[in-house]
Amino acid sequence: MEKENAIEKGLALIKRSKTCLIGTNGDNGFPNVKALLNYMNEGLNTIWFTTNTPSKKVKQVQKDGKACVYYYDENGFEGLMLVGTMEALQDPASRRKVWKDGYEMYYPKGVDDPDYTVLKFMTESFNIYSGFSNSTFEL
């Protein structure tokens, strides 16, 4: 598969995904996987999530930012794995960029609630599986 076509297929898969999975480096060298809502992406380059500040993911990425984000279609036999680094952010610009109306339900103190943390993932390479083709590209 050519890179341009792979990016197009990957973006289409993200668009129709309700959830995605994040892979992080957990305790004692074991990888961890967790499902998150597919929240916000800028192309394949940058993926944004929100989480509670005390969550295990925040501690993990503060210790080791190497991570992956995975989208898949279990009926269409398609999968997209983005490999890169994840940061936990609380700066005002990131908070405001990702905030959505109604979030007060989760973070009662609003956009500056200390319990509100933004996860920013930056892709370095990606692998796409579609049909019988499996291709990896640098981004």
Between 95 and 119, CB nearer to its own copies: 119
Which token pair is 62?
């503060």
If the CB atoms of residues 10 and 94 are measured against its own copies, the closer one turns out to be 10
Q: Does 105 bind its own copies (CB under 8 A)?
A: no
Task: Please name the residue that has the structure tokens 């590209």.
Answer: 137
| 1 lies in the binding site for its own copies (CB under 8 A) | no
What is the contact mask toward its own copies in residues 53 to 72, using x (rule: CB under 8 A)?
-----------x-xxx-x-x
Minimal distance in Å, beta carbon 107 to its own copies?
A: 16
Smallest gap from residue 111 Cβ to its own copies (A): 23
Q: Which is nearer to its own copies, 69 or 118 (CB)?
A: 69
Beta carbons of 61 and 119 less than 8 angstroms apart: yes
Give Cβ neighbours of residue 14 (< 8 Å, ≥ 6 apart).
20, 38, 41, 44, 71, 80
Strand ranges (E), the chain: 19-25, 31-37, 40-42, 46-52, 66-73, 78-89, 116-130, 133-138
Question: Residues 29-48 vs its own copies: string with x where CB under 8 A?
Answer: xxxxxxx-------------
